[in-house]
Structure 1
């Protein structure tokens, strides 16, 4: 048997972890056909089928499951060994994959990217922004960003800034037609843009002041999970929007939007950069942590 190719083994490990050639190819930065070819070559070399493939799914054979269980830690050890070479470089080297909610990524990552890249010119930073709830281990990310209230078990969390909060905003034209709400109880008489999770579920507008908490279920003709679209709809006078404060800051500053219920919108829980507790921390990820922690 010819010597095994490490790239083929790594391709198989990615497909086995994701149960998908497409996701494995995205993680590895190559085409799905290249990943398929690599796995096919590996199976031909060893003479054993490792994956069951259909047009809709990928699953492991018994042999594939056994190989993956042994291979995944071994590839981790190889990655750790290579990362150890960073002590002989001036700056970290290699790829770091970060997952962040798209609704807040610009406010959290934007301020630190310039300094981080300038200080670490050999760092290959890959940021995937989505409001879908992502399993960073299964999806091959080194770390993720979330509010503290939604962190899972088995994760190490590092507090990062800024601390965000929501704002309720409407256009001057809208408030020319309707009185400005003074308390959340007044929102029942207003047209509101409904907030959606990526799953399609609606979420309440949360308010708190003086020990009192209020969850208001908005009603209106428009529902979306996109905060930028919410701001645009509010600018068009379609109703009130409940968006991240920073998303509407420019329009509030120049008077195109008017803020209300500000004293009822306290800061949200802190944001955290989190990563698997048992995962080896690469020099690149340590550089990201150092740049973002507060």
Structure 2
């Protein structure tokens, strides 16, 4: 098989997985027109249409579905063969693509990225930080980072540092005319930011003490999916925010924010780095795991 044949097959496989020429191009590190050209060449060479294209969507034909079904294990074997070469290198080699929630990325990866690159000069990290729930297999990531409760079946999960917890915070001027809440049910008398996933779904402020669990659903006038904006709104003195403790720590220490209900905010479930169980992990991913594991 010629190198051009393999490149065209890889381009088709990326489009088939993402159902998008743009996303396939981002994964392959080329332009969308280059991906389109490669797939068109492949279709012309095999004499069959493999993809149905419209201005809004991409779907597989029956022939394309069959081809992808054969390519997936084949590319897996190729990847495993290349990963096996790492045993002959002194340091990990190649690209590792990781998906991590934007709200926790600085606290989990910020402390290890520099050391990983310094100690592994042949390692290339590509980190996508988004709070959108991502299918790491479909979107071509080597691994993802999530709370344990949100992991899919069939994934290998490695517990990682640090363990984080939430904090309820408000500015001193917010409390000039209000009492600091001592119990979660008192939050109903306060203006509270609604926490929102990128999908638009709201999630509650969760508390626990002595075995008693409380889920508070704010009904404040603003819903946010970004922790930076939550902290900024709290600093403005118009509302309380429920954010990761690490994100508000500096503002708490310098007195710009007051922490409430501290004893009701235990550490969250552990975060995990996870990857598909059927995939052989590369030396690069192994280096990332060793830097993060508890």
Distance of 2:200 and 2:3 partners within structure 1: 50
SS where residue 128 of structure 1 aligns?
Answer: strand
Contact 1:142 1:275 in 2 (8 A): yes
Going from structure 1 to structure 2, the CA distance change for 1:2 and 1:105 (only over 3 Å counts) comes to closer
Render the CA deviation track for 1:207-261: whole Å, top value 9, x for unaligned.
Answer: 1111111111112222101111000000000110000000100000100000010
Alignment of 1:175-194 (within 5 A): 175-194=175-194
Partner of 1:119: 119
Alignment of 1:218-237 (within 5 A): 218-237=218-237
Partner of 1:102: 102
Alignment of 1:145-184 (within 5 A): 145-184=145-184
The two structures have a TM-score, normalised by structure 1, of 0.97
Distance of 1:18 and 1:3 partners within structure 2: 23
Structure 2 runs not aligned, ≥5 long: none
Partner of 2:78: 78
Partner of 2:32: 32
The two structures have a TM-score, normalised by structure 2, of 0.97
Distance of 1:128 and 1:30 partners within structure 2: 18
SS where residue 280 of structure 1 aligns?
Answer: coil
Going from structure 1 to structure 2, the CA distance change for 1:289 and 1:186 (only over 3 Å counts) comes to same
**How many residues matched?**
294
Q: CA RMSD in A?
A: 1.3
Task: Could you list the structure 1 runs, at least 4 aligned residues long, displaced by more than 2 angstroms after superposition.
Answer: 1-4
Structure 1 runs not aligned, ≥5 long: none
Contact 1:4 1:45 in 2 (8 A): no
